[in-house]
Every structure is written in C-alpha cells, then in structure tokens.
Structure 1
Amino acid sequence: MPQLEVDGAALTYDDEGPRDGDGVPLVFVHGWTADRHRWDHQIAHFAGKRRVVRLDLRGHGQSTGAGVPTIEELAGDVLALLDHLEIERCVLVGHSMGGMISQTIALSHPERVERLVLVGSISRMAFSRGRGLLMAASTLVPFKLFVAANIQRAFAPGYPRERIKEHIRASAATPREVVMTLYGAMRAFDVLDRVGEIRTPTLLVHGYHDIQLPVKQMLRMATAYPDAVIRIIDAGHELPVEKPAELTAALDRFVGPASVA
C-alpha cells in the first residue's frame, strides 16, 4: 500500500497494470466522502491491459490530512502524484467532486490530460432546494445522521439498502472537519464560464435519477464543452457502484484505441 507525502498529508494510492500496455494510463479520482475503492470494477477491468492509478484524496479512506478550502489544492495533490509516478499524460476520470478536480487539472495543465471523463459531475456548484436545506441543517444534527441523509439521497430507488448502509459507514469514517471544509470548497467551485477552453475530448456520464447533481445541471455544462460525448445511465449519483458494468463499458468505448500514446 504505497503512500506519497504531500503538504502534510500521506496520500494512499494504487498503481496497477502493465507499464507497456495499450494507451496512456487511466487515473481515477473519487468524490466527496468516498475513497479509491469506488473504482474497483473499473480497475479490475482495465488493469489487465493498461496502467491504472487511483488514490484516496487527503482525509479520505486510508489517506491522512486535513480538509483544504479549494478544489485547486486537491488538484495539486493529484498532480503531485502524477509527477511522483512520472505520468506525463493520462486519461483523467473523476466522479462528482473528483470531476471538479479533473476539470481544474484540464484547465490548468491541459498538456497532462489526453482525455477527460466526468462522472456525475458539474462545472458550477448549484444545490437543489432539498440538498441546500440539508446542508444548512448540518450544524444542527449529529454528524453521522447528516452523512447518512446525504448518502441515502445519492442512490436511485431500488438500490439494496444493505449496500447503502455499507457506504454510509464508510463515508461516516471521513473526519467531520474534512467533510465540511470540502463542502465549502465544492460550494465555491465555478468554472462554467471557462469550460469552453477545454479542448480535450470529454465524456460526460450522468445518472438519470441523480438528485445530488441533477442531469439538467450537467446538460448546462455540456453546452459549453466544444467536444463532448454524453451518456445517460439509469442510476442515481453513485454510478461507479450502482451501475459499474455500464460505466465501465462507456469508459472502454471512449478511451479505446484513440488513447494510444
């Protein structure tokens, strides 16, 4: 279980697959209160034929470190890992907050990103009224109850309750300070007026039943992308675990031979 020390945080990561495999490496970035294991299905699929990298963001999973006030600082962590692993160019795949981090990297270091995949993510943070009320009440309810309410909303109707409970337990392990500080970072995130600068081929994958970051918000973002493919899947916000095979298939079609270095 390798770790990289970056600005007071020990970032846990996985670096798998053949160095001489097909195409540039795939780098997976998870979302708020999640961890690198959100990508288990995708890693298992791709690691047999190409290099794949994933990390636990600071304060998440098996990584240490406090929360940071901006998405740019999280992007700096990912770039530090790419430098450490000597990855000059990659396919960057980000879910939710991880998609915000990925957009930030694509804007600040376009030469590092061959293709961009945004899963359940947007370019300007805008909460639904229900989500806004939930966040406003965050200081009035026990932290574990707050986390449970957020995670429960992230899944489409019909997703197994026992699986949701597993994700709630894992998310509740993220320190409160990290959760709330990064909530502030996401709330401040806004690159909607700049996404037209991203010339990297982009895949936008979204859950039809996503009420955390609704489809209409993604479509608003999509109109600004000069070169984007859109894939809507019958799922909620947690696509990597709700519909892992469908997401993996969409990724496979998008990165394919066109990504060969």
Structure 2
Amino acid sequence: MPHLAVDGAALTYDDEGPHDGDGVPMVFIHGWTADRHRWDHQMAHFAPMRRVIRLDLRGHGESSGSGARTIEELAVDVLALLDHLEVDRFVLVGHSMGGMIAQTLALGHPERIERLALVNSISRMTYSRGRGLLMAASTLLPFKVFVATNIQRAFAPGYPREEIRECIRASSATPREVVMTCYAAMRSFDVLGRVGEICTPTLLVHGYHDIQLPVAQMLRMAKAYPDALVRIVDAGHELPVEKPAELTAVLDRFVTDRA
C-alpha cells in the first residue's frame, strides 16, 4: 500500500481507477475507529469508471500517528494527500467523523469540491443534559468496554451479532490515545452556524435507526444547507456496513445527476 508522510504520521491510502475516466475523482473518508475498508463496496463499484481515493486517517487502520486534537487537523491531512496526488477538484464523501472532516474541507476550500456527500454525519453533536453527562461518564469505562458500547449502539436492531463483534474487534485495535482524542474532537466540533455557506450540491444520507447521531439532528442541519438532497435509509449509524449496496446506489445517482 502507498504511504504519505504528513506531520508525524504515515498515511496509508488507495488510489485506483482510470485517472482520465469520466467525472472528477471521488474521495472517501471513513469515521471514528474505522478504516478505509468501510468503502470496499463503493470502491469496487466506482473504480472501474473513475479515479477513486480513500485513506486511513492518522492512527487508524494501517496509518501511523497520534490522534488529532481537532477535526481541522484531520482535514489538513486529507488535503495534504490530495495535493500530493495532484487532485485539484473532487467529489467528497465522508461517513460520521469523516463527514465532519468533509464539511470542514467544504467550508475551507469550496472551489475544490464538486459535490459533497455526508453519510450519517452532522454539523454539531448535541445532547440533552442527561445524555451529555452519560457520554462524559462513558469515557471513564475500561477502554474496550467504552469502544464496545459505542460500536454496539451504532447498528440498527436485529443486525447480526457476529458482524457487530467483528466491528468491535477491529475498532478496539485502534490505539486508545487515537480513539479518545478523536472522540473529544468530535464532541467539540461545531459548524452548524456556518453550513449555510456551503453552496456545493450536497447529499445527506442517514440511517433511520441512527441513535449515535440521530436523524432529527441531521434534518436540523439539512434546513441550513442551500442545496441539499436528503435520503433516509432503513439502517443504523453504520450505513456503509449495514446497507453497502443501497448506499452505493444512492451515491451513484447523486454523482451522475440521477438522484
């Protein structure tokens, strides 16, 4: 796998598909404790037709480096990779924390993004007082219990337990410092007051059963977007895992103007 050294990290990435294919490149950013293989289904579908790029964020998957203190720091990493690959304009797709990174890039570099797709993502994490206290207390749990609790809640009711256990195992392999630092970065992320500046055509696709980042919060965000298309899917927070083919179909319609 190719790697790029960026500010104390070595980012692992895939760059596949024809560089002179139809359409601008697509860039996929995974979420918290995940890795670039969240996008395997989308990679297999889009790479035969166009250039597709995905990466492991610092400290995740096969990338080294410590956790980022802010979402902005992760956005800098992604932009450094795209500059290295000489990708000027692209379709940007982000899941969960990856969607937060994508929004940060859309606000900072709107001229580079042709279309924006946010999967199970929001612009600000909002909690009731009780929920906020519970989330803060959860960080005091033993590390593996903390990760397992969060990942377990990410799936819609009835999703196969063995597959959930596999996701928990993979997420628990992410270093504790990376998990906790990025968790804090997500909790402090807030661009809700600025998303009205994002005029890029935007797709907001969300799982109906998402209790990590509830659909009601996404719909609140959608009202602020000048040019947003909303799609709700019968899934939980882990839409790329739970309904990969359905997500691919929604993305395909969006990037080919058939949404």
Please confirm whether the aligned pair reaches a TM-score higher than 0.5, indicating the same fold.
yes
Alpha-carbon separation, structure 2, partners of 1:241 and 1:44: 14
Alpha-carbon separation, structure 2, partners of 1:73 and 1:141: 27
Letter paired with 1:192: L
Alpha-carbon separation, structure 2, partners of 1:156 and 1:128: 22
- Give 1:188 deviation, angstroms: 1.1
Does 2:193 correspond to 1:209? no
- Give 1:133 deviation, angstroms: 4.7
Gapped runs of 5+ residues in structure 2? none
- Give 1:182 deviation, angstroms: 1.0
User: What is the TM-score of this pair, normalised by structure 2?
Assistant: 0.97
- Give 1:67 deviation, angstroms: 0.9
Corresponding residue number in structure 1 for 2:250: 250
Does the Cα contact within 8 Å between 1:211 and 1:236 map onto a contact in 2?
A: yes
User: What is the TM-score of this pair, normalised by structure 1?
Assistant: 0.96
Alpha-carbon separation, structure 2, partners of 1:252 and 1:64: 32
Instruction: Check 1:131–1:239 CA distance in 2 against 1; reply closer, same or farther (3 A cut).
Output: farther
Does 2:8 correspond to 1:23? no
Corresponding residue number in structure 2 for 1:140: 140
Secondary structure of the 1:174 match is coil
Secondary structure of the 2:213 match is coil
Alpha-carbon separation, structure 1, partners of 2:30 and 2:62: 13
Instruction: Check 1:257–1:230 CA distance in 2 against 1; reply closer, same or farther (3 A cut).
Output: closer
Alpha-carbon separation, structure 2, partners of 1:130 and 1:27: 37
Corresponding residue number in structure 2 for 1:237: 237
Alpha-carbon separation, structure 1, partners of 2:119 and 2:74: 17
Residues 76-87 of structure 1: matches in 2 within 5 Å?
A: 76-87=76-87
Alpha-carbon separation, structure 2, partners of 1:129 and 1:160: 32
Instruction: Check 1:112–1:143 CA distance in 2 against 1; reply closer, same or farther (3 A cut).
Output: same
Corresponding residue number in structure 2 for 1:177: 177
Does the Cα contact within 8 Å between 1:127 and 1:213 map onto a contact in 2?
A: no
Letter paired with 1:162: E
Secondary structure of the 1:37 match is helix
- Give 1:131 deviation, angstroms: 5.7
Alpha-carbon separation, structure 2, partners of 1:62 and 1:40: 15
Residues 116-195 of structure 1: matches in 2 within 5 Å?
A: 116-127=116-127, 132-195=132-195
Alpha-carbon separation, structure 2, partners of 1:134 and 1:169: 23
Secondary structure of the 2:226 match is coil
Letter paired with 2:75: A
Alpha-carbon separation, structure 1, partners of 2:130 and 2:99: 22
Letter paired with 1:20: D
- Give 1:173 deviation, angstroms: 0.6
Alpha-carbon separation, structure 2, partners of 1:32 and 1:173: 12
Give identity over the alignment, percent. Answer: 82
Does the Cα contact within 8 Å between 1:127 and 1:212 map onto a contact in 2?
A: no
Give CA deviations for 1:179-228 in whole Å, capped at 9, x if unaligned: 11111111111111110100100000000000000000000000000000
Alpha-carbon separation, structure 2, partners of 1:54 and 1:139: 29
Alpha-carbon separation, structure 2, partners of 1:174 and 1:131: 25
Corresponding residue number in structure 2 for 1:225: 225
Matched positions, count: 258
Give CA deviations for 1:7-61 in whole Å, capped at 9, x if unaligned: 0000000000111111000000000011000001010100110000000000000
Corresponding residue number in structure 1 for 2:114: 114
Letter paired with 1:31: G
Does 2:116 correspond to 1:93? no
Corresponding residue number in structure 1 for 2:54: 54
Say what the alpha-carbon RMSD is for the aligned residues. 1.3
Alpha-carbon separation, structure 2, partners of 1:254 and 1:146: 36
Deviates more, 1:181-190 or 1:232-241: 181-190
Does 2:28 correspond to 1:32? no
Secondary structure of the 2:115 match is strand
Gapped runs of 5+ residues in structure 1? none
Give CA deviations for 1:76-126 in whole Å, capped at 9, x if unaligned: 000000001100000000000000000000000001100000000001112
Instruction: Check 1:139–1:257 CA distance in 2 against 1; reply closer, same or farther (3 A cut).
Output: closer
Alpha-carbon separation, structure 1, partners of 2:5 and 2:106: 23
